[in-house]
Structure 1
């Protein structure tokens, strides 16, 4: 997955400096090192003389060689089965964001993103969040964090009351 991260980071940088296709390929291949650089040297060797790679062509070849589809499928499945369980809302969000890129079609609208996020929430929070009818993902997350915090406060208050009542008994 490091290779996929590298490609995404490199692409983001190249968009920022507004490179054309040829410059993108030239810069990205300059950044390659180790086995990835050797791989690129071999790709160049088998191309017809004078072949100029497009950025899309480079990305396709890079992903085929450096990011196996089987790994992408495993990550997609990991996202599909992601559950909050005992994670805090924040930690669940971090995992959700990290894995959602492998199932972009499942989260490419606010509605889909909300639905998928709720699907993995713990049942208690999900029940309460379903009542809020949030239409924006960030509102849903903010509400979930607030609910989680309120729930923890109620639990702590209950523990304190039980502790006080036990210690008051003669």
Structure 2
């Protein structure tokens, strides 16, 4: 399993404080994990294996507060997001989305920003009618 994972050439995470990079790294790994049909414990091991630079000592400290034998992927993500994609950042992105207007953006720019921002407001993102209503109200 680990050999297959390494052959896919997954990206390392160095502890960059940009929340979009951190969130993107998690989503990137999840694509690989789904492809390989990995179990939770394997996901955690592979993710922690990919931590480098500032992220490595962060994890060494963070892992003292968890039971590695029972740590799930969802729990790992929660710990990761607490440090690299904090609740205040997610809250700000949600507020930005709720007040998003096209303004002087092109339709293509607006659609890109809308789709990316919608990801942070799951109740809207999962409801196609609500997503369309919010999109149309933003013009």
TM-score range, shorter chain: 0.7 to 0.9
Cα distance in 1 between the residues matched to 2:62 and 2:125: 34
Which structure has the larger Rg over C-alpha atoms? 1
Structure 2 runs not aligned, ≥5 long: 1-18
For the pair 1:32 / 2:32, whether they are aligned, the reply is no
Indicate the residue corresponding to 1:164 in structure 2: none
Indicate which of 100, 104, 115 corresponds to 1:82. 100
For the pair 1:119 / 2:137, whether they are aligned, the reply is yes
| TM-score, scaled relative to structure 1 | 0.66
Q: Determine which structure has greater relative contact order: mean sequence separation of CA pairs < 8 Å that are 6+ residues apart, divided by chain length.
A: 2
For the pair 1:8 / 2:8, whether they are aligned, the reply is no
Q: CA deviation at 1:101?
A: 0.8
- The alignment yields a C-alpha RMSD, in angstroms, of 1.5
| TM-score, scaled relative to structure 2 | 0.79
For the pair 1:65 / 2:83, whether they are aligned, the reply is yes
Cα distance in 2 between the residues matched to 1:60 and 1:107: 20
Indicate the residue corresponding to 1:19 in structure 2: 38
Q: CA deviation at 1:89?
A: 1.2
Cα distance in 1 between the residues matched to 2:134 and 2:125: 7
Structure 1 runs not aligned, ≥5 long: 122-170
Moved more, 91-100 or 10-19: 10-19
Length, aligned pairs only: 120
Structure with a larger share of its residues in helix: 1
Indicate which of 72, 75, 96 corresponds to 1:54. 72
Runs of 4+ in structure 1 over 4 Å off: none
